[in-house]
A and B are shown apart, each in its own frame.
Chain A
Amino acid sequence: MHKFNPNVPTGPLENRWEKHLFELALIAPQNRKKYNIIVIGTGLAGASLCATLGEAGYNIKSFCYNDSPRRAHSIAAQGGINASKNYQNDGDSTWRLFYDTIKGGDFRARESNIYRLAQLSCNIIDQAVSQGVPFAREYSGYLANRSFGGTQVSRTFYARGQTGQQLLLGAYSSMSKEIASGKVKHQSRTEMLEIIIIDGKARGVVVRNLVSGEISSHVADCVVMCTGGYSNAYYLSTNALGCNTSATWRAFKNGAYFANPSFTQIHPTCVPPTGDSQSKLTLMSESLRNDGRIWSPKSAEDCDKDPNDINEEDRDYFLERMYPAFANLVPRDIASRALKGICDEGRGVGSVFNNQRLGVYLDFSSVIEKIGIDKVKEKYGNLFDMYKSITGENPYEVPMKIYPAPHYTMGGLWVDYNLMTTIDGLFACGEANFSDHGANRLGASALMQGLADGYFIAPQTVANYLARTKFEEVGDDHPEVIASIESVKARIDKLMNAPKPMHSPDYFHKKIGTILWAACGMSRDEDMLKAAIKNIKELKLDFWKNIKVTGIESDFNQTLEKAGRVADFIELGHLMCIDALDREESCGAHARLEYLAESGDAMRDDEKFGYVAAWEYKDTDPTLHKEHLNFEFIKPTLRDYK
C-alpha cells in the first residue's frame, strides 16, 4: 500500500497540472497493447475513460450492472455542465470557476485538484460538441449559456433538461466505437463483488453475471472504479434504484481509505413521498425557486386544508422571513434544512406518512398573476407537466408540494492527485471519489468532474502507474484469485441461507434509510449520531440473522442483488455516522446543531476541522487519517446568506 500522500504538485497553481503531466511517465503507442485495464461502471466517468484508453491502444475490460452502458445514472442530470469559456463576456475565468467551486465546497477540498478541474472544463465542451452532443444554441449558431445554481456568471452549457443524458450518449458512442475496434471488451448486467489484491496491488476483480449468477474472476494490471455515489443508502433518494456502494465498499474493506463519507447533498426541490410504497423521489430543477414562493401554514391545524382556502395572513413564507436577503433562493443546504425543520415542527403539508406530513408548498400564484400563465408555461411548462404526471395535481391551480431528498454524495474513495486510492493500482473517478466538491457540490459541476476524470486525468495517470510498475504474471489459478472467488461465494451463501429468514432486503433498506435520514441527513447532533451508531450495529446483526432471499443464486435473482447492496449500505451507514460524529463543526451541506450560531448560521471550524477525514477499515472501529488542507491561494471566508 502506498503512503497516504496527496501527491499534489508544487509551484504556481496555473502550471501545476501541466508540470505534473510532463513528469508523468508515458507508454509508447506500440507497447500499450501489452497492458490490461479493468473499468468498473460505465457512466460518464467510466464510458469516457474506456473511450480514451481504448483509443490510446490499451486493452480494456469494462463492466456495468445495467443492461447497457447508456443507462447509467449520469443520464438523470438535468441542469447542465459548467465550463469557464466566458462566451458571455461576463467576467468568467478559470480562476473564477476555481474560486466558486472551492467556496461552494466550503473550503474542504484541495486547491490543486479544483484548479485542474476548472482548467479542463473548456476542453470537455469541445470534446462533447465534436461527438455530436446537441447543446442549446443561439440563432447565430453559437453555443448558448445560462446561469445556474446561483452563480453570477452564465457558464452553464445545457441540452434542454437532458444534459446528463446527452453527454452520456456522447461518451457511450465513443466507447461503442472502441468496442467495435476490439480494444474495449464490455459486459453489461454484471456486478463487481470483490477486488483481487496481490502483493499490495489491485490486480483484478471478481464479478457476478446477474443473468446466470455465474461468478468469475478477471485479472489485469490495474482497476479503475467509476461506480458513482451512495445516496441510495438513505433508501429514498433521487438516485436510480440500482445505484449502490458495493464496489467502493469492497475497495474500503480491502484497504482503500474512504474520505468524508458524511458529506452528502440533499436537494430541496423534490416531489414529496406519498406513502410506504414510495420507492424513489424525483428531483425537479432548482430553477423553480427563481419564481416560486415557499410557504407552509402558520398553524398546524391548517395543514390538512386546501391551500387555496388558507388566507394570506395565515401563511408563513418561512424562507423570506428567515433569510430576507436571499429569501427563496438561499443555497440548497439552507433551504433543505429549513424545509425539514418546518415539517418536523408539525407544519408540513400533504398526505400523512409515518405520522408526519412531508412537504411544504411551492406556490406560483403570484408569478402567474404578474407575468401571466403563458409566460410561466414557457418557462416551466415541462417541469409542471412532470409534476402533474407524478402527483395528479395541476400546479397552475394548486401550489406544488416539495420536500428535500438525498441527491449526490461528495464523499467517496480517498484519491491522490493522480486519482489513485491508497491501494496501488486502484483508481477511482467521478462521483465514486471524494476529490473535488468538498463539503458541498455546486450545480452543474458533477458532469464536469466525471468527464474531466474520464477523458483527461485518469488516462494520463493510469498510464504513468503502468509505466512505473513491474507486474508479475498472474493467472486465474493464483491463490489470491481463488481466495477472492471463495469469499464472494461464501458471502452469497450467507445471504441465501440466513439462520432465521424473515425479512426482505427492502425491509432492511427502509430501516437503514430511516436511521440515516433522521440522524445523518442535513442536520446532526452528537446524541442522535451516537444512538444511530448503536442502532445500526443492531440492524447489522439483525440483517445477517433474518435476511430472506427467495429463488436460487445461480439465476437472475434481483432479490439477491438487492440483499448484497443493502448489506453494504448498512456498513457504510455506520461509517457515515462515525464521520459525522467526528466533525464537530457545521460545514458545507450540513449543520451540526451544536455548532450553529444563534442566528442559525453555520459555524465552520477551519483550525480544528480543516481536513479531509480519510477512514481506514479495521475489524473493530475504523481509524481516522487526516489530510490537512492548505490554502495557499485563497483565503477561506465564511458563507453568509442572511
Chain B
Amino acid sequence: MNFILHIWRQKNTQSTGNFVTYQIDNIDSDTSFLEMLDQLNEQLIDKGEDCIVFDHDCREGICGTCSLVINGHPHGQKKATTTCQLYMRDYANQHELWIEPWRAKSFPIVKDLAVMRESFDRIIQSGGFISVSVGSAPEANSQLINKDDADCAFDSATCIGCGACVAVCPNASASLFVAAKINHFERLPHGKIESKKRAERMINQMEEEGFGSCSNHRHCEVICPKEISVSNIASMNNLL
C-alpha cells in the first residue's frame, strides 16, 4: 500500500506549525498505523532529518498515551479504538491521510503531534480520589456493593484519560472525562460520601484549566475508545 501523508509539524509550544507532506510506499496491510509512522521515521533518520514526535507507549489500546487526529477523527474513524489499534488495512480506500495532534487550548502542543495533558492530572488532583489513607482500610468484604453499582462504577472507571473527548468536542470540554471519574466513585457507597464536594472541585478545576462546558453535542461518546456513555455527564449534573 502507498500513502500520501500530510503531517502536522510544530517545533514547540510557542511556534506556529504547518502540514508537511510525505510519501510512503510498500506498506504491508497488517502494519499498524503507528508502525507505519515508525517506518516513516526510519526513512527520516536515513535522510538525516529530525523524526516526527508522536505519543505512544503500550500499543495495545490501554495506556491512553497515543493521540492522533486522522482525517479529522480523533483515534481515526473506527469505533471503540485507540490510534495504536488501527491497522493500515483499515485505510485501504484512503490513500491521502491528514494527521494532526489533539487540538484544545488546555492541551498545548509540545512538539509535532504530541500534546501536554497535565491538565487532566491536575483535575484528578483536585478531587479525583477517595480520601483514604494507606493502612486504614477495613476488611474488603465488610462493605457489600450491589453488583449493578459495581458494574456501573467499572464502566465509568474504564476511562483511559486519552483526551479524545476533548479533542472532538466543539467546546473542548472535558466533561466526559470529569463525569466518568465522579460517577465511578459516586456509584460506590464509600465513594459517595465525598461526591458533592468532589464534583464541585473537579468541575472548578476543569474550568480553571480552560476547558469548555458541555452543550450536548455528544460527539465525545461516539469517539471514546472505551465507549463511556454521555449519561455520566447527566449524572454529574444531578449532583450539583
A residues near B (Cβ < 8 Å) are 48, 51-52, 55, 66-73, 75-76, 85, 87, 122-123, 125-132, 134-143, 159-160, 162, 165-166, 169, 172-174, 176-177, 179-180, 188, 211, 238, 240-242, 274-275, 277-280, 282-283, 351, 389-392, 455-456, 459, 504, 506, 548, 550-552, 555-559
Query: Which residues in B have their C-beta under 8 angstroms from that of A552?
Result: 50
B140 touches A550 (CB 8 A): no
Please give the distance in Å from A91's CB to the nearest CB on chain B.
Answer: 18
List 16 A–B pairs whose Cβ atoms lie within 8 Å, in order of A's numbering: A52-B135, A67-B118, A73-B57, A76-B58, A130-B140, A131-B130, A132-B191, A141-B147, A159-B157, A174-B134, A176-B129, A177-B131, A456-B135, A550-B44, A556-B110, A556-B111
Residue from B132, B144, B151 having most chain A Cβ neighbours under 10 A: B132
* Chain B 123-145 interface 0/1 with A at a Cβ cutoff of 8 Å (1 = within): 01110111111111111110111
Query: Which residues in A have their C-beta under 8 angstroms from that of B114?
Result: 67, 556
A76 touches B62 (CB 8 A): yes
A73 to B130, CA, bound (A): 23
Using known A-B contacts A76-B63, A172-B124, determine if residue A51 contacts B45 with beta carbons closer than 8 Å: no
* Chain B 92-132 interface 0/1 with A at a Cβ cutoff of 8 Å (1 = within): 00000000000000000011001011101100111011111
Residue from A51, A72, A551 having most chain B Cβ neighbours under 10 A: A551
Using known A-B contacts A392-B87, A550-B48, A556-B53, determine if residue A275 contacts B121 with beta carbons closer than 8 Å: no
- B residues 23-61 near A (Cβ < 8 Å) are 27-32, 34-36, 38-39, 41-42, 44-46, 48-51, 53, 55-60
Partner of A140, one of B29, B144, B191: B144
Query: Which residues in B have their C-beta under 8 angstroms from that of A173?
Result: 124, 128-130
Residue from B60, B64, B116 having most chain A Cβ neighbours under 10 A: B60
Please give the distance in Å from B130's CB to the nearest CB on chain A.
Answer: 5
Partner of B145, one of A141, A282, A550: A141
B50 touches A551 (CB 8 A): yes
Residue from A172, A174, A176, A548 having most chain B Cβ neighbours under 10 A: A176
Query: Which residues in B have their C-beta under 8 angstroms from that of A87?
Result: 141
A275 touches B59 (CB 8 A): no
Partner of B65, one of A71, A139, A159, A555: A71
B154 on the A face (CB < 8 A): yes
A351 to B28, CA, bound (A): 12
A141 to B145, CA, bound (A): 5
A69 to B131, CA, bound (A): 19
Please give the distance in Å from B228's CB to the nearest CB on chain A.
Answer: 13
B167 on the A face (CB < 8 A): no
Please give the distance in Å from A456's CB to the nearest CB on chain B.
Answer: 8
Query: Which residues in B have their C-beta under 8 angstroms from that of A136?
Result: 150
Partner of B58, one of A135, A166, A240: A240
A556 to B146, CA, bound (A): 48
Count how many chain B residues have C-beta atoms less than 8 Å from C-beta atoms of the other chain. 79
Query: Which residues in A have their C-beta under 8 angstroms from that of B153?
Result: 132, 134
B161 touches A73 (CB 8 A): no
Using known A-B contacts A391-B30, A556-B111, determine if residue A279 contacts B125 with beta carbons closer than 8 Å: no
Partner of B35, one of A67, A277, A282: A277
B126 touches A180 (CB 8 A): yes
Query: Which residues in A have their C-beta under 8 angstroms from that of B143?
Result: 129
B144 touches A240 (CB 8 A): no
B184 on the A face (CB < 8 A): yes
B158 on the A face (CB < 8 A): yes
A143 touches B140 (CB 8 A): yes
A559 to B137, CA, bound (A): 45
Using known A-B contacts A70-B161, A75-B62, determine if residue A141 contacts B146 with beta carbons closer than 8 Å: yes
Query: Which residues in A have their C-beta under 8 angstroms from that of B211?
Result: none
B32 touches A126 (CB 8 A): no
B188 on the A face (CB < 8 A): yes
B175 on the A face (CB < 8 A): no
Partner of B128, one of A75, A176, A279, A557: A176
A75 touches B58 (CB 8 A): yes
Partner of A279, one of B28, B59, B81, B89: B59
Query: Which residues in B have their C-beta under 8 angstroms from that of A179?
Result: 121, 125
Partner of A68, one of B27, B161, B190: B161
A282 touches B137 (CB 8 A): no
B49 touches A279 (CB 8 A): no
A127 to B139, CA, bound (A): 9
B160 on the A face (CB < 8 A): yes
Residue from A138, A504, A555 having most chain B Cβ neighbours under 10 A: A504
B28 touches A274 (CB 8 A): yes
Closest chain B residue to A130, Cβ basis: B137
A238 to B63, CA, bound (A): 13
B51 touches A174 (CB 8 A): no
Q: Can you name 17 extra interface pairs (CB under 8 A) apart from A275-B31, A456-B135, A552-B50? A: A66-B65, A76-B58, A125-B140, A127-B132, A127-B137, A129-B140, A132-B153, A134-B151, A134-B184, A134-B188, A240-B57, A240-B58, A456-B134, A506-B38, A551-B51, A555-B111, A559-B41
